[in-house]
Chain A
Amino acid sequence: MKSSLPGEQPPSIFDRMRETLAPSGIPADDRGRMRMVMSSMILHIHPSKVAVRTLKFTYSWGLGGLSALLLVVLVSTGILLEMNYTPNPAQAYLDIVNLNTNVWFGGFIRNLHHWSGNLLVVAAVLHLLRVFFTGAHRPPRELNWLIGIAMLLLILGANFTGYLLPWDQLAFWAITVGTSIIDYIPLIGPALSRLVLGGPEVGAATLLNFYTLHISIIPVTVVMLMSYHFWRVRKDGGLSVPKAPGETLDKRLEKVTTIPFLVRKELAFAAAWIAIMVLIGMFIPAPLEGIANPEVSPNPAKAPWYFMGLQELLLHFHPVVGAVVIPGLALTALALLPFYDLRVGSVGVYFRSWRGRYLTLLSMGLALLVTPVWVLVDEFLIHWGDWLPNWPTWLSNGLIPLAVVALGLVMLDELIKKMVHASLEERVLVLFVFLFTALIVLTVIGVFFRGPGMELFWPWNMPVH
């Protein structure tokens, strides 16, 4: 800001205000632009300079940024939706219908919120995959990996609690089926279920509980964790640096100023995604079925799509194993990853090495083949309950089939250890790819191939109920 010299016209009150609210333009020199990043509250999540290599779009795919953008869209549209919504079974459904038919842009705002929430699950999972496949979960970024997992769980929680709010048949039964899983948690299950539901089944108290979680507790926690996540990215030295297999990086990486080289990319990326989301919000309506009827379960009653992999597991295992033991083990293994898979030499190389890339494809192909076969065999040929009639079902239909599956995984691990002398990081990679692909296959089967009575049908031959 210029100070006025004697005899010169002093700046007007409007000039002073403009200078305070919108400091004059972007400085022309590097040093000025770097200072601008440091002294701006929003921009200071970035360093003032970034390594040229980390700007490569096909390395990070902007997935963390997309997640953050979607969070902004969700908070903005969510606040608008709150103003036309009453969390009460008598009113909630009517409010949604009113929103769709009677409120200016009501349907558009709801669609935008619905699809952004669903896309956020996808973006966050892809972000996790990107980080794992480039080895970026390894030290020093292990704490940020854990924060990321916590946020992923909260995102699923936000989606799940939001799913109930329209109070239609879809919402009511998806939440009934989803929350029934809580009952199977050993010891605390029934008490926890009553606490979450506010009673023995989904009802008015559940709606109010979920509303409170959805609009305050979960978003506030996510925003706090997200700030921490961003801060840790900088503390851990920025993005992991992409490199080719076998390449060693120079000690001194070539750097450029954040303005304009990173910021303009982010702005273009955000603008493109906002345009995509607006188009989706305009043309694809969020689903809404008839008003919730606690007397009539639809057939089939399905959980939200992101839990259909879990529901598919429930068809093959006793609920304690399918809903508690397997997800618990998987989450624990995921959280512990950076503490046993910690060779940092391959950080920045997609799939660790050239051989890792072939192993990834191999493992993926194997899972694509084995998982559907396993589902079919378990559905039609294996009847543990009938074969071991006097055993408790948590053993005959739970731990025993789980042991069989675990044995298969151990054999896969032994096989690649013996056949290709795979290193620890390659074995971890193979198992991760196998299990994640299996989860995707189970989700696809659950969403598209399960019909009335949860029996298997071809998607193009699905009976209408």
Chain B
Amino acid sequence: MSTKNNEEKLTRRSFLKTLWGVIGGVAALEFGGVTLAYMQPRLAEGDFGGIIEVGSVDTFPSGSVTHIPNGRFYLSRLADGGFLAIYQRCTHLGCSVPWDQTAEQFICPCHNSQFTSDGELLNPPAPRPLDIFPVIIEDGIVMVDTSQPMQRASFEPSQLVYA
């Protein structure tokens, strides 16, 4: 075989070399994938991260905000009776936002972000309203699915759940 052909044709030697390279690369990717999968969050069932039973609809008067510590959220019932489960974690840097009953606002102690009782952003630096969890109401019992907080650009009436 001439040298010219060598440059153009795939020889057995270069084919095997490439093959080894590809196999090695695939193996490295697999090990990387295994490591990433292994490190995925391991969530405990039942507690925060699962579905939490909060109580009967009647126990939450309209216009009230109730803290549910084991679910890390506030159950907010607006004036029109709609329910909203608001994640207590500030959307700015993750501080726990307390409900200020006198100001009727969520006020973050870390950087002074303020939110209304439906979680809408009043005052930055937080970039968006407080995240929410899906509310499920069955037979007059309020349940909240805390597996995945939902981000939202603003408060919409469609986020409310009615009994």
Contact = CB atoms under 8 A, between A and B. Distances in A.
Contacts of A183: 94
A453 B39 contact: no
Interface stretch (A26-34, A239-247, A314-322): A314-322
A319 B90 CA distance: 13
Interface in A292-316: 294-301, 314-315
Contacts of B69: 295
Nearest to B95: A297
A242 B156 CA distance: 67
B125 A315 contact: yes
Nearest to B107: A453
Nearest to B94: A180
Contacts of A315: 111, 125
Chain A interface main SS type: helix
A163 B39 CA distance: 21
Contacts of A180: 92-94
Interface stretch (A139-147, A196-204, A335-343): A196-204
Interface in B59-118: 69, 72, 89, 92-98, 108-112
B49 interface: yes
Contacts of A299: 109-110
B124 A385 contact: yes
A76 B108 CA distance: 41
A328 interface: no
B41 A297 contact: no
A415 interface: no
B72 A198 contact: no
A297 B39 contact: no
A399 interface: no
Contacts of B149: 200
A455 interface: yes
Nearest to A194: B41
A390 to B, nearest CB: 13
B43 to A, nearest CB: 6
A300 B110 contact: yes
Interface residues of A, number: 37
B110 A301 contact: yes
B12 interface: no
Interface string A276-303: 0000000000000000001111111100
A180 B96 CA distance: 12
A48 B92 CA distance: 56
A206 B125 CA distance: 26
B112 A455 contact: yes
A129 to B, nearest CB: 29
Contacts of A181: 93
Given A195-B36, A200-B49, A200-B149, A297 B127 contact: no
Contacts of A376: none
Nearest to A398: B127
Interface residues of B, number: 26
B13 interface: no
A454 B42 contact: no
B5 interface: no
Contact of B49 (A199, A295, A301): A199
Contact of B109 (A198, A297, A394): A297
B149 to A, nearest CB: 7
Interface stretch (A87-95, A171-179, A262-270, A352-360): A171-179
Contacts of B94: 176-177, 179-180, 183, 201-202
Contact of B72 (A201, A205, A454): A201
B92 A296 contact: no
A77 interface: no
Contacts of A393: 124, 127
Interface in B1-46: 36, 39-43
A100 B111 CA distance: 33
Most buried by A among B39, B94, B96, B108: B94
Contacts of A319: 92-93, 125, 127
A452 interface: yes
Contacts of A371: none
B95 A173 contact: yes
Contacts of A202: 94
Interface string B113-137: 0000000000011010000000000
Contact of B96 (A297, A314, A385, A454): A297
A27 B98 CA distance: 72
Contact of A176 (B39, B72, B93): B93
Nearest to B88: A295
B39 A198 contact: yes
A397 interface: yes
Contact of B95 (A177, A209, A394, A397): A177
A181 B94 CA distance: 9
Contacts of B43: 199
Interface in A180-200: 180-181, 183, 194-195, 197-200
Contacts of B72: 201, 294
Contact of A205 (B41, B93, B127): B41
Given A194-B41, A314-B111, 10 more contacts: A176-B93, A177-B93, A294-B96, A297-B97, A297-B110, A299-B109, A319-B93, A319-B127, A394-B127, A397-B125
- The 9 A-B pairs at the shortest CB distance, nearest first, are namely A299-B109, A180-B94, A297-B95, A180-B93, A453-B112, A301-B110, A199-B41, A177-B93, A176-B94
12 contacts: A195-B36, A202-B94, A297-B95, A297-B97, A314-B125, A315-B111, A318-B127, A393-B127, A397-B124, A452-B109, A453-B111, A453-B112
